[in-house]
Amino acid sequence: MVGSKGVVRRAVIPHEAAHTARLLEVVTEPQPEKSAHIQSDSYFDFIVVPQGILGYVWDFPAIERGRPVRVRGIYDSNVRTVKKDLTLRAALADEFERHGLELDDYKLESHPFRWFEARSAFSAPRLLLVGDAAGVDALFGEGISLALGYGGLAAAEIRDAFAINDFSFRDYHTRILHSALGKALRRRT
């Protein structure tokens, strides 16, 4: 439970290899006059991969407090150790420059997250990990739909535990790996 930086996972699994991706996100005003991007379209661009950033930059439209904005960012899965020519921030600054924007003019949000690793532990007696705390999509950094998917698996596990009055949750790992969610996550890692 409780997110990628939560203490619960660290409390039950204190010594494990880090499987951590990173992303930076920025919300900007739409600037059609500066960017070559069509402002009603969403863009995912893997242009940063040759620079050792194992992910993509994105730029898509959204609504924030009733006004149109562009949500932009950069994602590095870090699934392999490769030489990086640029920091994540520098690569995003370059991308902003390509679209006539100055990264320093905006508030940057940063977020680490744990990607799915099939050999990880997902439970301890009386405790189930879900969502970011369990591990999410390494390929695209998607977490919301997977958090919801984990919810269903955890609910089924809890239902079965009540039925046999055994809260060891020892089969949760197998349940995840055999589920459509587990198979998809494994492929994406």
Ligand X SMILES: Cc1cc2nc3c(=O)[nH]c(=O)nc-3n(C[C@H](O)[C@H](O)[C@H](O)COP(=O)(O)OP(=O)(O)OC[C@H]3O[C@@H](n4cnc5c(N)ncnc54)[C@H](O)[C@@H]3O)c2cc1C
Indicate the Cα dihedral angle 102, 61, 110, 134, nearest 10°. Answer: -160
Cα separation, 38 vs 3, in Å, equals 34
Residue 18 or 164 with smaller CB distance to ligand X:
18
Tokens representing residue 154 in the block: 């955890």
* 3 state DSSP class of 12: helix
Q: Which of 55, 143, 149, 182 binds ligand X (CB under 6 A)?
A: 143
> Which range of residues in 11-19, 47-55, 97-105, 135-143 is near ligand X by CB under 6 A?
135-143
Q: Tell me, by CB under 6 A, how many residues bind ligand X.
A: 16
Contacting ligand X (CB under 6 A), which of 47, 82, 144, 155? 144
Q: Is residue 181 part of the contact set for ligand X (CB under 6 A)?
A: no
Residue with tokens 């949500």: 71
Out of 21, 91, 101, 136, the residue judged to bind ligand X by CB under 6 A: 136
Q: Which listed residue (2, 82, 108, 156) binds ligand X by CB under 6 A?
A: 2
Instruction: Identify the CA nearest to 85 among candidates 51, 131, 125.
Output: 51
Residues 10-39 that bind ligand X (CB under 6 A): 25
**Cα 4 from Cα 150, distance rounded (Å):** 14
Residue 157 phi, psi dihedral angles, 5° rounding: -65, -40
Per the rule left: phi > 0, alpha: psi between -120 and 50, beta: everything else, 60 is: beta
In angstroms, give the least distance from the CB of 1 to ligand X.
Answer: 7
- Specify the residue, 2 or 156, whose C-beta has the smaller distance to ligand X: 2
Q: How far is CA 83 from CA 31, 51, 80, 86, in A?
A: 34, 8, 10, 9
Per-residue x/- mask for ligand X, residues 101 to 130, rule CB under 6 A?
A: --------x-x------------------x
Q: Which is nearer to ligand X, 9 or 37 (CB)?
A: 9
Name the residues that contact ligand X, by CB under 6 A. 2-3, 6-7, 25, 109, 111, 130-133, 136, 142-144, 147
